[in-house]
Amino acid sequence: MVSPDAIVEVRGVGKTYEGGVEALREVTTAFPWGKLCTLLGPSGCGKTTLLKIIGGLIPPTTGEVWVNGKKVDGPGPERAFVFQDFALLPWASVLRNVAFGLELRGVSKEQRAEVARKQIAEVGLAGFESSYPHQLSGGMRQRVGLARALAVDADIILMDEPFSSVDEQTRRKFQEDLLDLLRHREKTVIFVTHSIEEAAYLSDQIVLLSRRPGTVSRIIPLDIERGRRSPDEIRRDKNYLDTVDEIWRVLKQYVT
């Protein structure tokens, strides 16, 4: 039975790759509707594997995933993926890349162009509609990937370390922009990161995974008042600082 407040439920999921490498073992957790939840854990613990299983990109070896009360057996329109390596079409303009998911769904050219232009503006890339990926910085390419995910208006956005390839200043700006974008959108985000501070800053809930094979070590709900507070105020919040310390106490046993 799916929990009434969970839009995604992971039930006993395990994944063993060809060659016998066990990435995940008996992972059971739920992701509440309308929240940003982070998968966090040591390198190689199966965070990206779990995200891809939720996205229907790879099948689990054991267990199952349910989304909106339906068992996942592949990708679906209610889920959109933002990849770490951007995954843009190199031969297509920014406008075409952002509209690509709508094109696959059969949306008319005029309508998808209108939606794409709106999302391009939302992520701060107005004026770059005719540019190509090789003409953009890494940060700009990642914004294109986010705009593409927002354009299809999926209920669930799956983000695989989306800010890992940019410098620290750009990363912090992306974090702020993401929270601003989500503030007025009823979206569920499942976010993979290696950064304890990023997880604590962004998340409503953190799912901590153990070392490989990844299992759920702890689920940490966050009680950090964001509202209109500045990023510096949030990072000085006692709940934020206590959460960072708590996560590190759990994770350091896996890296020592």
Residue 134 lies in a domain: no
Percent of the chain residues topping a pLDDT of 70:
97
**Mean pLDDT value across residues 43-65:** 94
Rg (CA), the chain: 18
**pLDDT higher than 80, residue 25:** yes
**pLDDT higher than 90, residue 93:** yes
Tokens for 81, please give them. 């993926």
Residues found in the chain: 256
Q: How far apart are CA 93 and CA 84, in angstroms?
A: 19
Residue 87 lies in a domain: no
pLDDT at 168: 81
Q: How far apart are CA 78 and CA 198, in angstroms?
A: 25
- Between 225 and 153, the higher pLDDT residue: 153
118 forms bridges with which residues in the sheet? Answer: none
Q: How far apart are CA 162 and CA 173, in angstroms?
A: 13
Residue 220 lies in a domain: yes
Residue 117 lies in a domain: no
**pLDDT higher than 60, residue 98:** yes
Residue 130 lies in a domain: no
Residue 158 lies in a domain: yes
Q: Please check whether residue 45 is in contact with residue 211, taking contact to mean a CB–CB distance below 8 angstroms.
A: yes
**Mean pLDDT value across residues 85-104:** 89
Q: 232: domain CATH number?
A: 3.40.50.300
Residues near 33 by beta carbon (within 8 Å), at least 6 away in sequence: 5, 6, 7, 188
When divided into structural domains, the chain yields a total of 1
Q: How far apart are CA 202 and CA 176, in angstroms?
A: 9
What single-letter amino acid sits at 38? T
Which DSSP string corresponds to 85-107?
A: T----TTS-HHHHHHHHHHHTT-
Residue 225 lies in a domain: yes
Domain hosting 215: range is 6-78+154-255
Residues near 235 by beta carbon (within 8 Å), at least 6 away in sequence: 197, 201
pLDDT at 1: 41
Residue 70 lies in a domain: yes
Average pLDDT score, the chain: 89
**The Cα angle at residue 156 between residues 194 and 137, in degrees rounded to 5:** 55
**pLDDT higher than 90, residue 238:** no
Q: What is the per-residue pLDDT across 149-208, written as a single tens digit (0 to 9) for each?
A: 889 888 999 999 888 777 788 888 888 888 888 887 888 999 999 899 999 999 999 999
**Alpha carbon 20 to chain centroid distance?**
27
